Chain A
Amino acid sequence: MDTMADGISRASFLIGAVGAGVAAAVPVTAAAAPAAARTQTADGPLYDLEISEAADLIRRRKITAVQLAESVLERAAQVEERVIAYALAYSADDVLAQARAADKLLRRGTYLGPLQGIPVGLKDIIFTKGILTEANSKFFRGFKPTFDATCVARLKAAGAVIVGKTQTVELASGDPAPTNNPWNLARTPGGSSSGSGAGTAAGEFLAGIGSDTRGSIRIPSANCGITGYRTTYGMVSKHGVFPLSYTIDDVGPLARSALDAALLVDVMAGQDPEDPTTRPVQRYELAAALTRDRGKRPLHGIRVGVPAAGDYFRGVPNDDELAAFDEAVKVIASLGAEVVKVRTNTLPKPFTTLNSISTPIVNAEVGAFQYQNWKARAEDFTAQYRRQVNTGNLLPANAYVDAQRARALWMRGFLAMFDDIDVFIHPGDEIATLKPPATDPARPRPSSGSKFGAWSLTGSPSIAVPTGLSGAERMPLHMLVNALPGDDELALRVAHAFQGATKHHKLRPAL
């Protein structure tokens, strides 16, 4: 059922829930379109809630986890055929049983935290004990892991309701997923965490878990108008997640707000003896830092860098992205941040592209991971995926070692920008493209290159934050909020304060 509990107005709840209650500085329409047939006049459907909102209602027993589960199940029944977010939707019986268990604990006085009873989808490269995990790969068809990935075990322990496995690009880097973008079904959600992004935007679950090597959390988040959080490298365990490039891969959330993303990472992150690349931190408390009352100027004392004219990070092909970003900068300044123009050192000579560093690393690492499979059954991978494995297995060893050395040296120069600033924000240049064979009209100018890859190489926190809709396509626009590795709280504070002052992240697609 899609009803709010008696007497709770969604609007009034939101006013109380958002810590930084700053007046919106950027006028936006309240909603792109009516969200669904079952929407009430005053209150939105439960499936549209942010985790922070739903968690508060569940904790106060105003709604039950079962009601929330029923809402997302009904929503999926309405839209899944068109969106194709799921690789494997768990049965309604299974989902409702998990929700009932969450309710039962609460009735008996056990509150596990804000994820108790929250429906979450998992990218299908994340291991689930005894449940198919096929990664959209012919090679792994029928594969049932014998254990849960660490992130899954932690989500379950926190009371999350796992609703299914979501569509992915083959093994996070091969052939695309069949998923459609809920904002325009003729367009791609991007990848590789395609189903986690599209399903969250479409209301099939309240958040998805994905992985990000060269942008695979942030790209579908950007394309689908949600918030994608790539954490500092090593915060969330990769144990039980099919690797692509283990020195770059990151596991994280695709959610409806920075606060929701922080709530998920608080549960999933922390050192894991099964993953030697995890940071030596037992647990994180990022959400608490966001909800602390900081008054009307919550960013006071934070220096936020923005790319100067002509910088690599302003090399964006789409005018709408730039205009939306410039408006976002005004909002961030109005929240107390000191805004500083920065000239980054992104492509020092002789680099012509950052792929020169990332391609040898990613290809060599995926080549090593798949070496035995590749020797035996290379043809069971698609040509697109195999190209990377093939390249990795033919490169000389010094290509990999030199790429890692160059990466470390390049990082020193690139991250030196943070000597003078705390957080660096910039426009994205991803607007979801039409699915082939259709093509979009040519943009006014070419992109300077990926805006995601640099932050992957540095292992920085990098958050895709919605900034509005494009004029022509009416598709989501976004910016990226980034910081030094370890400064996740600062990056999240900027994203959260921005979302407290605007409503871009509350826009929902009409389906």
Chain B
Amino acid sequence: MPITSDEATAIAEGIGRARGLRPGQLPDGVQFAEALNGMEECAGFIEQVGQPQAPFPLTKYVPVPVVEANGGGHHG
């Protein structure tokens, strides 16, 4: 279900309170709802295409041994 502008307003106010934002720094509900719903559509589209075909695959983490001058070996 798409996020309504009222719901988006409530979300924005919650974030605003947490971050100490002024009223003039809060998006209006319509604009914020469009962005949040757009975010959902983008996520849905990416999921549909599938990660293996994504242009920015997750970086593969390869631990490498690091030896610092005054310490023992550890993995960084």
Contacts and interface: CB of A to CB of B under 8 A. Distances in A.
**Chain A complexes with chain B:** yes
Interface of A: 348-353, 355-357, 359-360, 363, 374, 378-379, 386-388, 390-391, 393-396, 398-399, 401-406, 408-410
Q: Counting chain A CB atoms within 10 Å of each CB, which of B26, B36, B39 scores highest?
A: B39
Contacts of B56: 401, 404-405, 408
Q: Counting chain A CB atoms within 10 Å of each CB, which of B48, B53, B55 scores highest?
A: B55
A360 B38 contact: yes
A409 B34 contact: no
Contacts of B32: 390-391, 394
7 contacts: A348-B45, A350-B48, A356-B37, A359-B34, A390-B27, A394-B27, A395-B36
B10 interface: no
Contacts of A406: 41-43, 45-46
Contact of A387 (B31, B41, B49): B31
A387 B45 contact: no
Contacts of B37: 356
B38 A403 contact: yes
Nearest to B11: A394
B48 A349 contact: yes
Contacts of A394: 12, 15-16, 26-27, 32
* Dominant secondary structure of chain B at its interface with chain A: helix
Q: Counting chain A CB atoms within 10 Å of each CB, which of B31, B32, B43, B45 scores highest?
A: B45
Interface of B: 12, 15-16, 22, 24-28, 31-32, 34-39, 41-46, 48-49, 53-56
Contact of A386 (B24, B34, B41): B24
B31 to A, nearest CB: 5
B27 A359 contact: no
A404 B46 CA distance: 10
Contacts of A352: 41
B27 A410 contact: no
Given A378-B25, A390-B26, A399 B35 contact: yes
B39 A360 contact: yes
A351 B22 contact: no
B54 to A, nearest CB: 6
Contact of A405 (B15, B28, B34, B54): B54
Closest CB pairs A-B (n = 5): A356-B38, A406-B42, A356-B41, A391-B27, A390-B27
Nearest to A358: B38
Contact of B46 (A387, A391, A409): A409
A402 B26 contact: no
A349 B54 CA distance: 16
Contacts of B46: 402, 405-406, 409
Contacts of A408: 55-56
A356 B55 contact: no
Contacts of B53: 409
Contacts of A403: 38-39, 42
A85 B25 CA distance: 32
B28 A387 contact: yes
Q: Counting chain A CB atoms within 10 Å of each CB, which of B24, B25, B27, B28 scores highest?
A: B27
Contact of B39 (A374, A399, A410): A399
